Amino acid sequence: MKTLMTVAAALGVMLMASTSFAASAEEVMKKSQAAFLYQGKDFKVRVTMRLVSKSGQERIREMTMLRKNFGEPGGEQKYFIYFHKPADVKDMTFMVYKYPGRDADRWLFVPAINMVKRIAAQDKHSSFVGSDFSYEDVSGRKVEDDTHTLTKEEKLGNRDCYVIKSVPRAGDMDYAYKLSWIAKDDMLPLKEEYYDKRSGLYKVFTADETKVVKGFPTVTKRTMKNLQSGHGTYVTYTDADYDAGIPDSLFSERYLRQPPRKWVE
Amino acid sequence: MKKFSLVEFSVNHPRLVVILTLIVTLAFATQFPKVRTDTNPKNMLPATSDVRVWNDGVEKTFALYEDTIVLGIVNERGVLNKETLEKIKRITGEILELKGVAARDVSSFTTIDNVTVDGGMLNVGPLMTSVPETEEETDKLGKTLFENPLFIDRIISRDGKTAAIYVPLEDGSNGKEVADSIRGIVSEEKGDERFYIAGDPVARDTFGNEMFKLMAIFAPIAGMVMLLVRYLMFRDLFLSVTLMMDAMISIVWSMGLLIGLGFPIHVMSSMAPVFLMAIATDSMHIYNEFYFRYRENKDRKAAIIETMKAVSRPVRNTALATAAGFAVLMFMQIIPVKVFGGLVAFGTISLRVLSFSFIPAMFMFVKEEKIDRIARSEDIGSDRTARFLRKLAGFGIHRPGTTVAVGLLLFAVAVFGITKIRVNNNLVEWFKKGSDVRVADSVINRNLGGTSLGYVVASAEGDEYMKTPEAMRYMEGLQRHLEKLPVVGKTTSVVDYVKRINRVLHDDDPKYDVVPDTKEAIGQYLFLFAMSAKPSDLDNVVDYPFQKANIWVQLKTWDAQAMREVINAVEQYKKANPTPMELKPSGIAYFNLVWNDEVLWDMVKGFILALIVVFCILALDFRSFKWAVIGYTPLLFTILLLYGVVGFVGKDFDMPISVLSCLSLGMAVDFAIHFVSRLRQRLKETAGSEPLGDALLWTAGRPGKGIMRNAVLFAASFAVMIFAPLTPYITVGAFIVCMMMLSAIMTIIYLPALITLTRGWLFKGDMQ
């Protein structure tokens, strides 16, 4: 009887340990998301995306991205994107209302026919403007949608990292699991590896350069490489600015049609 | 004579010669474990060939796959019902997990991108994310499917009874293995649906696989048949086995050499053993003559030496002619053709070396009384075969005019037949009617756009041109023009996406199912599409700088000629509608066309070269141009007749047939050499005491029997192939059986007739 109690107690302790371990892994992911995608009240940046195919062909996407938080980290956000390049899509604008727990609303303005069109929410893991980043990679995935475990802690380069394994709770994701290296100091993700059931590692994210902007550590160069297709996307952030005072009214159909120069230049 | 001494050496030291032969054979056999095979007929052209480099470039530019398997799902009640759709979803899911499948670009109901508008909301995403539960949902899916021209004839048939899943393969994966896995997946499904698996990689890899199996089965069977026929001819197992060994040893030598030199065994070289076995039958003449000699002489050793003296010249020269016929292939362009030519030439030479060493040596081990018994049956007067052959020759000798006239008539008919020959190659038709591969292909081709895929690549001078309305409208016009061809089932290009988006953005108004008027609108539509669609959707049809566009042309047949029709139609359209764009063909269908042309014409060129070389050898051998012309006639006649029949029957002149032309030449010439050499020898020996007619009859009866035996043996072993499940083997089998019998008969009838007719000319200034 006594031994049974001891075993039960031991089991209990182990169980608690593992749950607290899991909870802390989830904490890390939440903090990382806050640091990566919710820094400041608002954020303005010029984004250059270089899409490179296996054979070395290149496509450039250049846009101004405006982001504003409407709530806590992990909560509602609005995005306003103005395209500069390629040349024939100049003046195209794209707007996203992101809600926690339900599908985002999206609108697109097509200047050639002067039309704003709502775009249905869909696969969060479909490609963002033809890049190797999915919509989810750009605007974030709900932390609770995955089970996170801390697999180890190790140095990546010269920085101490948590290595967290995230397994989707629902089975319809592209990946079977993901490993993230989260820097202990600024909580930014330095590397992510995506694995699928069939062929193992197939997609790798790396944060290649981090700068501190208005006190916020910001990833200014990042890469996503698809190892299966050989396609890669290289992203550079320039003119990043936080708390610029983006007005709420900007995120409207009216400004989608006529984006104010001040914000998109 | 040097060769002569080899024979003497062999009969004096039979044991040593046999042991030496076996040691050399073992040395070649040690190379066998290093064997590599290459079953891919695509490798007939080197990776550096223009067409492969160009196709690889196109594949890279447009992120295309070299090979795609098509799975057709047929339900006579229509595929748009919950059960069938669930199966499609389940099967797609399982296919995505298969090794070797490029999962990200599998096209099925659940993975293909669709552009729709619903209540003012634009939707770009997979056609079917979940299986419809209610009838309304199913109807809605049907409506979506049938209103989008990108889907009709591609993933759904017009009658709604056939759905398809397109499974692209990663580079280097084996089409047959993936197809077998897919077969495993669909065999789990129960219900009314029938499943069909088609596509070039299935046909190609299945063929490669079957071919090696067939070679492993048919080469030994052919060997056994030869052994049996020989036994029936000579009633002596030991000598029959000796003859067999002769063939086997040369096969081991040449295959050992091939493997040792590091060449992979290829589609063509895998045929070499059967060819060598056939060529080995030429040693029949040694046996034939030996028994006659022994009967006259009763001394084994002397009989051998005399036999070799009598037949050495023709045996040596036939070998030379055969070897030369194949060796010319070494000067061709296509590497496997070269290797094949060299391989068979080497094997033929080896066979002859064995004929002068190993075979005489083996004769020394046969018991005298046994030889005696067999030899007694070999009498030119009493033997039924010999009598029959003399009768045949007699016909030629006594009615030379009639014989030649009939020949000329046949010749005219044959030439007419040859003009009707259609040059074509169809990989799928290499399988028998009713075989899985062929049935699947015809079902899918009947119901959908087609399993064979070609591309027309448009390239402009500068970037961005493909976004202009004029480029778009040009491609649209070209597509409609190509679709008029009966062989074209469907075409797809970037224009189809642009028109689709234009219509959808304008609330599905059919008025907008057109190319928009400005480059900006086109650029923005494509950008909009690319914002949500799979990257490959656009990558497959336009390159990154929009300088090139790719029009997909689905063909309803694997005929190499179908792509030629497409190319001609493109040229025709371009002539009528000038454009700054360059239009070039590509894709697997184009590859098949080029491959077919190159291999085929290489073989034809080789054949013509062989004809010349063989004629020269004949002339040198007979030391007479006139005799060469006479000896050449039955050979040429046989080949013309056969190809005439090919033309009349309507059999495509394809690769297997073209390969055969070289063999037929190499073999048929043997008979003429034997006949003419022995006749002239006889005339010399009898020194005018025997009239020409009698000498001809003697030749027809004695060496003629060897010719007939050779032909029967040869034909018997190849007849086995008529029962093969792959049509090229049936063709080869039937062709060779006909060729051997025909050329033997031609030699026996026509040579006497021609010689009788032209005796004045032939013997002018000669010994008579």
- Look at B484-498, B620-634, B651-665, B747-761 and tell me which has the smallest mean pLDDT: B651-665
CA–CA separation, B14 vs B25, rounded Å? 16
What is the overall mean pLDDT for chain B?
A: 85
Question: Does the pLDDT value for residue B767 go beyond 50?
Answer: no
- Are B520 and A112 in contact (CB < 8 Å)? yes
What are B348-362's pLDDT values in tens digits?
999 988 888 888 888
CB pairs under 8 A between A and B: 109
- Are B63 and A112 in contact (CB < 8 Å)? no
User: In residues, how long is chain A?
Assistant: 265
Query: Minimal CA–CA distance to B707: which of B285, B239, B283?
Result: B285
Question: Does the pLDDT value for residue A121 go beyond 80?
Answer: no
Give pairs for B110-114: CB < 8 Å, separation 24+.
B112/B151, B112/B155, B113/B532, B113/B533, B113/B534, B113/B537, B114/B144, B114/B148, B114/B151
- Taking CA–CA distances from B125, the nearest residue in chain A reads A122
- Are B520 and A55 in contact (CB < 8 Å)? no
Asked if residue A207 belongs to a domain, the reply is yes
Q: Which residues of B touch A197 (CB under 8 A)?
A: 97
- Are A120 and B534 in contact (CB < 8 Å)? no
Burial (0-12, 13-18, 19+ Cβ within 10 Å), A206: middle
Q: What is the mean pLDDT of residues B167-182?
A: 87
What are B86-132's pLDDT values in tens digits?
999 999 989 988 888 888 889 998 888 888 887 778 887 788 888 88
Between A88, A130, A198, which is nearest B523 by CB?
A88
Domains of chain B (ranges; CATH) run 2-42+205-427+594-763 (1.20.1640.10), 59-199 (3.30.70.1320), 437-593 (no CATH)
Residue A71, chain B, CB below 8 Å: the answer is no
Asked if residue A21 belongs to a domain, the reply is no
Asked if residue A107 belongs to a domain, the reply is yes
- Are B123 and A129 in contact (CB < 8 Å)? no
- Are B528 and A57 in contact (CB < 8 Å)? no
What are A66-118's pLDDT values in tens digits?
999 988 888 889 999 999 988 888 889 999 998 887 888 889 899 988 989 88
Give pairs for A187-191: CB < 8 Å, separation 24+.
A187/A28, A187/A31, A187/A32, A187/A34, A187/A35, A187/A36, A188/A32, A188/A35, A188/A36, A188/A217, A188/A219, A189/A32, A189/A36, A189/A219, A190/A156, A190/A157, A190/A159, A190/A161, A191/A156
CA-based nearest distance A200→chain B, Å: 12
Asked if residue A25 belongs to a domain, the reply is no
Q: Which residues of B touch A230 (CB under 8 A)?
A: none
What are A17-65's pLDDT values in tens digits?
444 455 588 888 988 988 898 888 999 999 999 989 887 888 888 999 9
CB B392 within 8 A of CB B745: yes
* CA B378 distance to own-chain centroid: 41
Which residue(s) pair with A105 in the sheet?
A97
Q: What is the mean pLDDT of residues A184-197?
A: 90
Share of residues in chain B with pLDDT > 90 (%): 18
Q: What is the mean pLDDT of residues A204-230?
A: 91
CA–CA separation, B495 vs B460, rounded Å? 16
CA-based nearest distance B553→chain A, Å: 24
Between A88, A197, A199, which is nearest B467 by CB?
A88
Q: For an interface test with B, give the residue of A57, A133, A227 to mutate (most B CBs within 10 A).
A: A57
Asked if residue A250 belongs to a domain, the reply is yes
Q: What is the CATH number of the domain that holds A104?
A: 2.50.20.10
The predicted structure's pLDDT at residue A5: 54
Cis peptide, bond prior to residue A86, ω within 30 of zero? yes
What are B519-542's pLDDT values in tens digits?
989 999 988 888 777 777 888 899
CB B707 within 8 A of CB B407: no
The predicted structure's pLDDT at residue A263: 84
Question: Does the pLDDT value for residue A193 go beyond 90?
Answer: yes
Decide: helix, strand or coil at residue A252: coil
Q: Which residues of A touch B534 (CB under 8 A)?
A: 126-127
Q: Which residues of B touch A115 (CB under 8 A)?
A: 505
Residue A126, chain B, CB below 8 Å: the answer is yes
Q: What is the mean pLDDT of residues B569-584?
A: 93
Question: Does the pLDDT value for residue B320 go beyond 80?
Answer: yes
- Are B521 and A89 in contact (CB < 8 Å)? no
What are A136-184's pLDDT values in tens digits?
888 788 888 888 989 988 988 888 899 999 988 876 667 889 999 999 8
- Taking CA–CA distances from B57, the nearest residue in chain A reads A55
Structural domain boundaries enclosing A67 = 42-264
The predicted structure's pLDDT at residue B41: 67
Contacts of A213 (CB under 8 A, 6+ apart): A240, A241, A242
CA-based nearest distance A137→chain B, Å: 14
The predicted structure's pLDDT at residue B585: 94
Six token digits for residue A216: 């916020």
The predicted structure's pLDDT at residue B381: 56
DSSP, res B432: P
- Are B125 and A86 in contact (CB < 8 Å)? no
Number of domain units in chain A: 1
CA-based nearest distance B317→chain A, Å: 56
Question: Does the pLDDT value for residue B766 go beyond 90?
Answer: no
Residue bearing tokens 């992101």: A98
Question: Sign (positive/negative) of CA torsion B178, B180, B182, B184?
Answer: negative
Question: Does the pLDDT value for residue B372 go beyond 90?
Answer: no
Q: For an interface test with A, give the residue of B110, B507, B524, B525 to mutate (most A CBs within 10 A).
A: B524
User: In residues, how long is chain B?
Assistant: 768
* Three-class secondary structure assignment of B167-233: EEECCCCCHHHHHHHHHHHHHCCCCCCEEEEECHHHHHHHHHHHHHHHHHHHHHHHHHHHHHHHHHH
Decide: helix, strand or coil at residue B754: helix
Q: Which residues of A touch B538 (CB under 8 A)?
A: 130
CB B582 within 8 A of CB B477: no
The predicted structure's pLDDT at residue B382: 60
- Are B538 and A54 in contact (CB < 8 Å)? no
Asked if residue A118 belongs to a domain, the reply is yes
Angle of the B727-757 helix axis to the B400-419 helix axis, nearest 10: 150
Asked if residue A120 belongs to a domain, the reply is yes
Which residue(s) pair with B152 in the sheet?
B156
Six token digits for residue B417: 């037949």
- Look at A11-15, B561-565, B594-598 and tell me which has the smallest mean pLDDT: A11-15
CA–CA separation, B288 vs B705, rounded Å? 8
| Chain A 197-256, residues with CB within 8 Å of chain B CB atoms | 197-199, 228-229, 231
Share of residues in chain A with pLDDT > 90 (%): 33
CA–CA separation, B345 vs B276, rounded Å? 9
CA-based nearest distance A235→chain B, Å: 16
Question: Does the pLDDT value for residue B3 go beyond 50?
Answer: no
DSSP states along B110-128 = TTSEEEEEETTEEEEEES-
Which residue(s) pair with B117 in the sheet?
B122
Q: Which residues of B touch A57 (CB under 8 A)?
A: 61, 543-545
CA–CA separation, B539 vs B544, rounded Å? 7
Between A115, A117, A198, which is nearest B103 by CB?
A198
CA-based nearest distance A231→chain B, Å: 10
- Are B63 and A54 in contact (CB < 8 Å)? yes
CA-based R_g, chain A, Å: 21
Instruction: Please give the single-letter amino acid code of residue A55.
Output: S
Between A57, A112, A122, which is nearest B123 by CB?
A122
CB B527 within 8 A of CB B487: no
Residue A34, chain B, CB below 8 Å: the answer is no
CA-based nearest distance B502→chain A, Å: 10
Asked if residue A88 belongs to a domain, the reply is yes
Which residues of chain B are at the A interface, by a Cβ-Cβ cutoff of 8 Å? 60-61, 63, 96-99, 102-104, 118, 120-126, 464, 467, 505, 516, 518-525, 527-528, 530-536, 538-539, 543-545
- Are B523 and A127 in contact (CB < 8 Å)? no
Angle at A99 between CA B110 and CA A35, to 5 degrees: 105
